[in-house]
Amino acid sequence: MHKDCERIMLTEEQLRARVKEVALQVDEIYKDKRPLVVGILKGSIIFYSDFIRFLTMPVELDFMAVSSYGSGAVSSGKLNIKKDLDRDVAGRDVIIVEDIIDSGFTLANLKALLTERGAASVMIVTLLNKKDRREYDIAPDYNCFDIENEFVVGYGLDYNEQYRSLPYIGILKRSVYEK
């Protein structure tokens, strides 16, 4: 385990098994469709690449990078699009793949945006869900794991752009971000 982690929350085996289970459920629902699978950069990349390999219908892949202005507990209420989609979503069945839903700000705004652009449907798939932190009225359609309010890294998730390549989800030691 990485020295900056307090403990491993989800092992590689747990991640592999649960991601497969969720992906197969999504696969069943979209089997007669050709969804546009939108990964939210960068946190979702490892989950995204594991998830899409269980989908059996023809899919198109696309990505967005977003950030919220301001930080911490108080959102300023504006989503900043750092990289937009390449594809037009009008009339498309969109599956948003995100690493974690925390306050819900990012996904509430993204869902509204893609709906406004004319997507036929927008489904949200998340790896992690911090339910107790929700401030916006949004819930994932599919979620792999509900987690407690702890700051986690690995399997794509970062702290200051570090730890994304860890193959497991670990709880970051408080001393790393409280110093």
User: Contact positions toward Mg ion, by CB under 5 A?
Assistant: 43
Nearer to ligand IMP, 56 or 162 (CB): 162
Catalytically annotated residue among 84, 102, 137, 141: 102
102 contact choice in Mg ion, ligand IMP, none (CB below 5 to 8 Å, kind-dependent): ligand IMP
Of the pair 34, 78, the CB lying nearest ligand IMP is at: 78
Among 48, 106, 123, 155, binds ligand IMP (CB under 6 A): 106
Stretch that binds ligand IMP, among 24-32, 46-54, 85-93, 147-155 (CB under 6 A): 147-155
- 84 an active-site residue? no
Window of 10-18, 24-32, 51-59, 95-103 that interacts with ligand IMP by CB under 6 A: 95-103
**C-alpha–C-alpha distance, residues 143 and 125, integer Å:** 6
Which stretch, 10-18, 25-33, 47-55, 145-153, contacts ligand IMP (CB under 6 A)?
Answer: 145-153
Backbone angles phi, psi at 108, to 5 degrees: -60, -45
Compute the distance between CA of residue 25 and CA of residue 67 in angstroms, rounded to an integer.
29
Q: Which residue has the tokens 């950069």?
A: 41
**Does residue 152 belong to the site contacting ligand IMP (CB under 6 A)?**
yes
Name which of 23 and 97 has its Cβ closer to Mg ion.
Answer: 97
Site residues (CB under 6 A) for ligand IMP?
A: 43, 98-106, 151-153, 157
